[in-house]
Structures are given as structure tokens and as C-alpha cells.
Structure 1
């Protein structure tokens, strides 16, 4: 079998890239080691930057998002009980974010790909890229016990942090930057109304908390826990009590609780690998970088990678601009590192660090107070939160 672009991974980044390529008349095949139901069972982020919203509209998969998604013009910071509003729309000249779950984005992209008749091979195990440095790369995989070969012009590794794409690149050619944080996020999903019409990021002497949502009837809440904590040690009652203790009293008093429908602990890390390409294979999204979820950048960074790779490949096939291929990593990394910085900053400012001395604690409090009380500081937070602009490919 032969195609122009082989995509490893049918998560939102692989599906979005495939949809954009298909609309541009560039053939592609997606290989996914899991089943469609498994892919849709992943509970992930739900805050979409303006740039990703625009990209989904460009891909023609925006109808349900526009009908069911929640446009947020701001969010709140709760600083040890004091509430401060970040007016995104005013501070950024009209930009907003969209609350629409990653699972729903994936579902929409799957439906669009099926309707278009584009090929996704699910339960394709042991996928392996070959000859990435050559003129004719290919991917081998197994399906129903039979090995297959997919010849292509280019390979997109959209298979996540633990995927095979990055692992197929010789380790000595990659430079890894990583910071592992000494805590995680315990999160629950519940069919309860949101406690606030906008997201609330709370810092408290007991630790960080986040009040988020997937819709007007489904909420996603998080509390900071130690890295050694086990999810089975947290009953729903214990979680709700801890969350309320970290929120301003007026929010805690009106919070509607209920049974969790999903509960998990996510470790926090910052991770970047350079370069993001190896010959004719390009790393996209979590395959190349991870951010703490505090700044809502993970899925959105993957989307900006997709935009960059799509626009480069479009110029390659339409204009013969193969010179642009070597710019992929450079362009992506400029935006990646800015998002890494913002996510690190949000994490550093809002979480409790047990090893912080008294001086460090005061600096943390003063830094956050300065940014929130300054118009320029709030504008910096807002422009990073709605997402920095995508770089034009020329």
C-alpha cells in the first residue's frame, strides 16, 4: 500500500492533520494501535485556544463545537480566598477560548474522516517507521497477525509521549529537556453543574485546585496531591471536602457535589525534545513535548504543530517547496518553548511546593500579586492563555 503521508496515531492531532491533508487533496493513511472505542475513552483537556478553534473550522469539523461548545471570555484566579478576574476578550482585543472536550473533538474528527472515506487502520500493532533519512520512507505494522508495509513520502509521528515515533529516532541525535514536578493532579469528572460560569484556578495553603467543566451539566475538578498518592485512597467525599477547603467560601457554599464518573491522578512534567524531525519523519504534539496542564496548552500545542506541518506539506505538494521541510522543527519549537514557559510559570505560581523556604514563598506570592494587580501583567497572562499566534509559513 502507498500513500503520500503516513500518520502514526489516531488521537486528535493525527486525525486533525489527516482531515486537513485530505481536504487539500493530499492522500494519507492513519495507523492506530488501539480500537476506536479505546481512543474515545481517553479523558483529556477541554480548553481550546482561539487558534485551534480556527483550525478546526478550517478543517470543516466545527459544526458541533460551535453549537455545543462554551465560549469563555475570561477566567478567575482565586488567591487564598481572594478572587481576581482575567478578562481575556478585553485584554487581547477580542480573543476568547472555547470549552469543548478533547473526546468530542476526536469524535467529530473520526466522523468527518469516515464520511470522507479516508483510511484509518485501527488495531494496527507494532508500527515501525523505516528509512526516515532516505527518499522512500515506509512504515510496517501488523494487523490480524499479518505484517503489512505502507510506503509514503513523509511520516507524521502523532502517537504521544510513549509512542514509537520518537523512540525510532537514534537517541544520540536528540536533546531532551525535562522537569518532573513533585506532585500530581487528582481529577474527577461528575455530572454536576459547574460551580462558576468560568474556570477558576485556585492557589491555597493546602495546595492548588481547578474548577473546570465540559458542558453546563458536566464538570471536571482537580486538586493538587503528592506524587506518591493513590487514587483508591480518595473517596468522592474526601475529594469534595478537600476541593471545597481550597476554594473561596462563596464558591464552596454553592458547589453541587455528586458521584464521580471518572477519577484519576495525572503526574505533572515539562518535556521537550529537539529537534522535532528526523529526515522525513516529523514529531507532532505529545510525541515531542509535554506541558503541565496548568496553562491548558497540551492539546493546543499539538494543534499548532499540526498547522505548521500541514502548511509546509501543502507548499511541498502544490509549489515544490521542499526547502521548507527543514524548517518544521525550528518553527514549532519557537512556539513550543513559549508555551512551556507559560505552563511552567502558571504551575510555579499556583502550586504549593513543600521544599520552598519562607523567602521563596513570599516571592511566589508577590510575583502572582504583581501580575494580577497590573494591567500589563493581566494582559501577559491573557495573551498567553488564549494562545500566541501561529507563525506564517512562507
Structure 2
């Protein structure tokens, strides 16, 4: 399927559905029909409105929408999104709070490159911003990157993280969410061997597949069933003529979205049917719960083919990081080289993407790190999304992580915060 034609066919289908939605909404809203009592007109206009919005969001990068934050003085402080390091495939950005002195906590959020933009962590950023200086990795859409920029695979991703950590300095506290957890661990180990003074102060790994074989999920089962040749034929296409990255081999965002939607097809179908009825009754709003969720969920980005394929092959199939055999730029990365960075893992009891056991596996690999600097937390009843952006994050995990960061900053030790003691265990007790 390595063809521009298939990529452009998907874009044509998306574009046609957006146009059909806009046409249906405009036609059914024509003033001449205002006196008609036919309910199909209202339903047609509602369907058109929902369809147009949904299909248009698939090619639009969401805005961060973080305008202000309340300071310690009780006043609103404006927030500027500024670029600290700019690279072809991703940037390091800061949420700079005006009129606020630098905070004691400097946090680097490593966002997933798994089909959605970094704005998926908007609520995570918002929750940390009042108490921390927040930086985040903002990965770029591969369709907008010219072929002349070269490749981008898991090794390049790791080296990007190394550069970002160096730019922020050793007092940084890194939080990796989901997909980047193994590569963030590898980047920290790389720094431990090559540039120890640039290592972060602490590392929080949330719901990441450090060892995919530690617990089976649909994701790991898929990785075992399919061969790399089959995966390349099914998933890889060339960017079409409409974008700057024309000709680049990618795993298209629209194809990823199709997979996302098919996993919970009935739930999504019900959600859109109910939203159409709400619009027809005049009960919907521009920023209601449905639109807030799907404006983000439907906004997908292309991944470079080499990054996607190398992730599946090296992280999931060959388990190079889990086996401590990962190589970056010709050098083996030894996880055991980490001796000073406090590390905590966070898992959700009902996480069906990175099941419990996959992330905590990192602690056993940290053979050079004292047990006093290792900790883990299993959040009861929490799913994947909840451990970094949902209620579990807001109520339990966020204060836990901030307490861990403070302990690491103050003494260099990962001591168990007393208020969450029953849910945290030191690695030595695993």
C-alpha cells in the first residue's frame, strides 16, 4: 500500500464527507423551509453539523487553549506557549506564566507519539501548571515534514529526548506518559553513561510498555500475530500531493483513527447518534462534553513509517529495552547505568493498553539504582486514560507524583509520601 493514491483516496473520502455535512446543514437550514413541520429537516441539519465538524477536525491540530493560570496571589496570570528547542520532527515547548517567578518544580512532560497530538495531555498540563514550570514535547505531523528532513525512528526519538533533557538541565523532573516511557527510560540511561551531569532529578513512568510481555493486552497480541512484512503492507502509505511531506512514507493518521474507532465502534456510534439528537433539539453547545472529547480524539497525525515499524519491531516484538539490548547511534544503552535518578512507575489496575506489570518492570532493570530511589504505584479501578488525565490523576496520582518530585529534589531519595503510603511500594518489596 506504499502509494500516494491510497493516501489521497482516504483524504478524498474525508474531504467529501466534510463537504456533504456542510451541504446538508446549509440545505436543511434554508429559510424557505422554516415553516415546515417535517422533523427530517432538523435531523438532516443536525447530522450535517455533526458530520462537518467531525471530519474537519481530522486534519486540524487542536489549540492548547490554556490562557491563564491562577497564581499564589490569587490573580490570573497569562500563559504563553513558547518554543525552547525547535527540531524538524518535534519541538520542546514551555508554558511560560507571565509575572510569575520560576517555580521550584521544573517538569518535562514527554507526550506520546501514537496518533494524537501532544494536546491530548492538555488537562495534565493544566493540572500541573499552578505548581510547576511545565515543558512538553510537541511532536510534529509527519505529513508536513519534507522528505529532505530525513528519517525519524526510535533511535532519533531517543536522541531528541536526550537533547531536550540537556536543554533543561539536571534539576528537571521528567514525566513520560504511555508510549514514550521505554524510550524516556533509554534516554535517561544514555545520559547516565554519556553526560551524567545532564540527567534529570527524577523520572516518572506512567502506563508505559517497558516490558510488553509482562502482561498481555490486545496491543501485545496484535504485535505477536502480525509479521513486519504484513504490517508494512497494511499500514504504510506515502503522503499525498496536498502536503509538504509529499512522498514520505508514513502510518497515516486517518488509518490510525479507523483502528481507534473500530475498537469501540458501538460506543462511538451511540455517542454520535445521541449528539445528532441533541443538536436537533437545540441542546448541544460548541464546547459540550461530546465536542470537547471528539475535537481532540478525532484530531490525528501521521507518524513516520520508520518510527512506527521500529517501535513494533524493537520495543514490542524484540523487546530490546526489556532485555536491556537497546542500541542508539551504535552504542548499547545500559539501563543499569542509571544510579542517581529517582524513578517511580504508575499503573492503572484496569489499564487495557499497558496492563499492570508492563511499566513496573522498569524497576527490576535499574540494577544500579538503590531501592531507596525506586517506587511504584498501582491505582485501583483506573483505566489507561484515567492515570494521566482523568479523575484518578487529579485526585490521587497528581499529588502522589508531586510529593515524589519534592522528595527527590530535597534529598535525592525517592521516599514514600506518607499520605499515599498504602498505595506505594518500594521496589524492594515487589
Higher normalized contact order (CA 8 Å, seq sep 6+, divided by chain length): 1
TM-score, length of structure 2 as denominator length: 0.27
